[in-house]
Amino acid sequence: MSIKIKQQTELRTLPVLALRGLVLFPGMILQFDAGRKKSILALSEAMENDQTILLVAQKDLEENDPSMDQLYKVGVIAKIKQILQHTEDGVRLFAEGMQRAEIRETVAETPFLKA
């Protein structure tokens, strides 16, 4: 018996948040801290719209300001469940992985990453 799985292809533009040392999969809920300026701006953009953001792991964990070239091309579209002010400059957030996504085109690198 064979099953044909239909692959959903939908092009969207989303703010991108680079994850350092973390990976989120669809169906997982992840709690983590974000403190980089680009990350906070990307989260603000996501919260103003539909609370979705693209979470992508960065290749070099030591890089503090990664560009799109320094991120993996496959990540997860996540729904932001909750954001808490954690420190003066940072937040703690809860996000749920919704579906896998591939970065096709960089839309912006400043003031935050968008693809």
53 φ/ψ angles, rounded to the nearest 5 degrees: -145, 155
Query: Beta-carbon neighbour count of residue 66 at 10 Å?
Result: 21
How many domains are there within the chain? 1
Mind listing the pLDDT tens digit for each residue in 44-53? 999 999 999 9
Query: Which 8-state DSSP code applies to residue 4?
Result: P
- With cut-offs at 50, 70 and 90, classify the pLDDT of residue 5: very low
Residue 40 belongs to a domain? yes
The per-residue pLDDT for 94 is: 97
Instruction: Work out the mean pLDDT of the chain and round it to a whole number.
Output: 91
CATH number at residue 93: 2.30.130.40
Q: Residue 93: inside a domain, yes or no?
A: yes
Task: Please compute the mean of the pLDDT values over residues 84-112 and round it to a whole number.
Answer: 92
The number of helix segments (H) and strand segments (E) in the chain equals: 1, 5
Instruction: Sort strands 52-57 and 91-102 into parallel, antiparallel or unpaired.
Output: unpaired
Instruction: Answer yes or no: is 88 within a domain.
Output: yes
Range of the domain at 76: 16-102
96 is written with which tokens?
């749920």
pLDDT digits (tens, 9 = 90+) for 105-114: 999 898 999 9
